[in-house]
Amino acid sequence: MSRCLFALLLAMSVTAAEAQDQKVAKKKSAPQEPQIPATAKEVSYGPHARNVLDFWKADGDGPRPLLVYIHGGGWVGGDKGGSTARFKPYLDKSISCAAINYRLTPDNPLPAPVHDAARAIQFLRSKAAEWNIDTNHIALTGGSAGACTSMWLLYHDDLADANATDPVLKQSTRVCAAAVTAGQTSIDPKVIEPWLGPNVLKHRMINMAVGEQTIEGALENYEKHKALYLEFSAYNHVDKNDPPLYMTYGGDMTLPSKDAGHGIHHPVYGVKLKEKADAAGAECHLEIPKTAKSEKFANAQEFLLAKLLAK
């Protein structure tokens, strides 16, 4: 095969799902507000090169609440960078902010990306005195895979290990709230295909999460990976004692899902989780244009401000 033909085929191999990931993970091109310089940049929170975070310290009396941004990209790509304008409404209210990177699949399959995020929360708590953080008011936000991770942390039992030799691991992973966009509430192929149809399994997030190059391999080896699929699906961890959640999705409720990108970000993920949270008695808000709306909050920002600034 000629180099030119190979290059053409390679370019054509970019899938619609990947393009959708880019839309979810990044804002559309628009005039950018000036970047807000980080107080601390590229701070290492763990041993891997991608275990780094940026921190914006807010002014204010006493320890300040903290909003942590976890980027999307299917756990296979993405970065904490981009416009810092997302943080301005919170910094203006004296809420500190952080953005984290984490290891990526398939080279670093689950639990790596999610446990990295958990360690980042523990690290931030360990910096509470130095960075003036109110450890009772730490909330999460993110889209797509960042939303998936955020919801897992919100609903999962505390990972703090009182017997750890690493002082960071002694810190709590619990947060007070999360507001997420287009998140996967389950990554279990045996669950989401009945919810959404076969196209959702065409998205590489599902197989690469467990280190499989193809969905065929993931399904063939399902029993081997089943424990990971069950563990890292937030849907399986909901109970009445969980902190509040606000989910936002696009408005296309078409079923079965139309393609991989539509399937992996489908509003039905939110519908299913809200049904379970409501049954358990956990506070959960769902926003889907023309389909669902929170009765208490106008949008995710209003929700986060209320939870982070609560007395």
Q: Check if the beta carbon of residue 8 is closer than 8 Å to that of residue 78.
A: no
pLDDT in tens, 120-154: 999 999 999 999 999 999 999 999 999 999 999 99
How confident is the model at residue 32, as a pLDDT? 62
pLDDT higher than threshold 50 for residue 7: no
How confident is the model at residue 139, as a pLDDT? 98
Instruction: Say if residue 108 is exposed, middle or buried (CB neighbours under 10 Å; 0-12, 13-18, 19+).
Output: middle
pLDDT in tens, 236-283: 999 999 999 999 999 999 999 999 999 999 999 999 999 999 999 999
Helices (H), the chain: 3-12, 16-25, 88-91, 112-126, 128-131, 145-155, 189-196, 204-208, 215-220, 222-231, 260-264, 268-280, 300-308
Name the pLDDT band for 31 (thresholds 50, 70, 90).
Answer: low
- Owner of token pair 């750890």: 164
Q: What is the mean pLDDT of residues 229-234?
A: 98
Domain boundary assignment for the chain: 18-24+35-308
Q: Check if the beta carbon of residue 92 is closer than 8 Å to that of residue 60.
A: no
What are the residues whose beta carbons fall under 8 Å from the beta carbon of 24, sequence distance 6 or more? 72, 143, 144, 181, 182, 265
pLDDT higher than threshold 70 for residue 208: yes
What does the alpha-carbon distance between residue 162 and residue 172 come to, in Å, rounded to a whole number? 10
| Percentage of residues of the chain with pLDDT beyond 90 | 88
Residue 181: phi and psi, rounded to 5, are -130, 130
Q: Compute the mean pLDDT over every residue in the chain, rounded to the nearest whole number.
A: 92
Q: Check if the beta carbon of residue 195 is closer than 8 Å to that of residue 272.
A: yes
Name the pLDDT band for 83 (thresholds 50, 70, 90).
Answer: confident
pLDDT in tens, 106-119: 999 999 999 999 99
How confident is the model at residue 261, as a pLDDT? 98
pLDDT higher than threshold 80 for residue 200: yes
pLDDT in tens, 167-176: 999 999 999 9
The residue with greater pLDDT, 311 or 107, is 107
Pairing status of strand 177-181 against strand 133-143: parallel
How confident is the model at residue 15, as a pLDDT? 42
| Percentage of residues of the chain with pLDDT beyond 70 | 90
pLDDT higher than threshold 80 for residue 6: no
How confident is the model at residue 1, as a pLDDT? 45
* DSSP H or E stretch at residue 181: strand 177-181
What does the alpha-carbon distance between residue 129 and residue 256 come to, in Å, rounded to a whole number? 50
Per the CATH hierarchy, to which homologous superfamily does domain 18-24+35-308 belong? Answer: Alpha/Beta hydrolase fold, catalytic domain (3.40.50.1820)
pLDDT higher than threshold 90 for residue 30: no
